[in-house]
Amino acid sequence: MNNLDGGTLAYFAIVILFGGGFAVTGFYVLFYSMRKYFTQQQKKRTFVQDFATIVDKKKELRKQNRGRGRMLMYQPIFEYLVKGKQYRLTGYFPNSNDWSSSVPKNGEKRVIWINPNDPNDAFVEEPTTEAVLVIVIGLVFSIIGLLILFFTLYNYKPAKNNDLTTNEQSGIANYSEFAIVQKS
């Protein structure tokens, strides 16, 4: 890669940023979602399964893409009973806005996992399909990014040197070869 001109370098920079961006984003989503999924699976071995009831909703205005406007989101408040004592947990519903069908409704029951040693430590079970979907999205982004990088670098063929100096390749003449003629 010694004989790269400015255009080729710019091309490689764009491809590396684009492909690398896809790969990094994919690996981040993949790592985060797998970590969350496996942490919940591990907790399920020691936590106790029960049901929690949605007793209220907390409304939250969230910024939309690039700060254009706001969207109303709902966070359900779950209530569950452990050894005669009531506990509350604020959950999270992805895409629970006014236009979706997933707005939590009071009285709905959801599966909850509770730490028997600390009933305040609990989580609402997320649907497996959503967890798997996020993992698949992360995997797809990672693969796309790696393929962009691989095929760009694999298909790169350096230009033949043709015995030109670096200055001649860039169009700069070597003026030491020319005689300077002065008018008398």
Q: Render pLDDT for 115-163 as a digit per residue (tens, 0 to 9).
A: 999 999 998 877 666 677 888 888 898 898 888 888 877 776 665 555 4
50 three-class SS = strand
pTM exceeding 0.85 = no
User: 42 with 176: CB under 8 angstroms?
Assistant: no
Q: Is 4 exposed, middle or buried (0-12, 13-18, 19+ CB in 10 A)?
A: middle
Domain ranges of the chain: 1-47+127-158, 50-115
pLDDT along the chain (184 residues), means of 10: 65 82 87 85 91 86 65 83 92 56 78 92 77 83 87 70 51 49 55
